[in-house]
């Protein structure tokens, strides 16, 4: 639908809405032609892919993937709980958790370990809820 009309300027389009409409119509025609060509290329590529599938054999049999649980545990964000990373504190807590309250256990930890190795009531509770044995 191309015509031999000269391109109207922006000022002419503002003054003449008919010229602006013709300009928009010409642009739509150009876009439609470009889209039609792109669709034809995509259709040809898909038809070619369907007619000529991959002919190479599989190089190796599929192997069972490893369990992701251990990998996720090793790559959790943040730092591990103090109880988990200190085996002595962990053993101390596990030996007493069944017969002491969280508060009494936290006090016992504070009495038996230096300040940098102590854990509080909330930390003991959170750790126990996640690791009940």
Is there a contact between 99 and 106 (Cβ–Cβ < 8 Å)?
no
Highest mean pLDDT among 52-56, 79-83, 118-122: 118-122
Q: Is residue 64 part of a domain?
A: no
* Percent of the residues in the chain that have a pLDDT greater than 90, as a whole number: 47
User: Where is average pLDDT lowest: 28-42, 53-67, 112-126?
Assistant: 53-67
CB neighbours (10 Å) of residue 96? 14
R_g (Cα) of the chain, nearest Å: 37
Q: Is residue 3 part of a domain?
A: no
pLDDT of 6-36, one tens digit each?
Answer: 665 666 666 788 888 888 899 999 999 999 9
**pLDDT grade, residue 5 (50/70/90)?**
low
Which pLDDT does position 11 carry in this prediction? Answer: 65
Is there a contact between 124 and 102 (Cβ–Cβ < 8 Å)?
yes
Q: Is residue 37 part of a domain?
A: yes
**pLDDT grade, residue 121 (50/70/90)?**
very high
| Same-domain pairing of 84 and 47 | no
Domain of 101?
A: 80-130
Q: How many domains does the chain have?
A: 2
Structural element, H or E, at residue 67: none
pLDDT of 94-107, one tens digit each?
Answer: 999 999 999 999 99
| Same-domain pairing of 47 and 87 | no
Q: Is residue 67 part of a domain?
A: no
Higher pLDDT, 89 or 70: 89
Q: Is residue 106 part of a domain?
A: yes
Is there a contact between 119 and 83 (Cβ–Cβ < 8 Å)?
yes
Q: Is residue 119 part of a domain?
A: yes
CB neighbours (10 Å) of residue 130? 9
3-state helix, strand, coil in the chain (%, to 5): 65, 0, 35
Q: Is residue 85 part of a domain?
A: yes
Q: Is residue 58 part of a domain?
A: no
Q: How many CA atoms lie within 13 A of 57 on its CB side?
A: 3
């Amino acid at each position: 639908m191309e015509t031999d009309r000269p391109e109207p300027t922006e000022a002419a389009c503002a003054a003449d809405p008919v010229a602006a409409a013709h300009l928009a119509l010409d642009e739509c025609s150009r876009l439609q032609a470009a889209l039609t060509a792109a669709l034809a290329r995509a259709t040809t590529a898909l038809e070619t892919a369907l007619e000529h599938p991959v002919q190479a054999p599989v190089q190796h049999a599929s192997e069972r993937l490893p369990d992701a649980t251990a990998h996720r545990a090793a790559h959790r964000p943040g730092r591990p709980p103090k109880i988990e990373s200190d085996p002595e504190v962990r053993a101390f807590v596990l030996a007493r958790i069944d017969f002491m309250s969280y508060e009494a256990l936290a006090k016992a930890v504070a009495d038996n370990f230096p300040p940098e190795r102590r854990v509080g009531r909330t930390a003991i509770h959170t750790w126990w809820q996640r690791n009940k044995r």
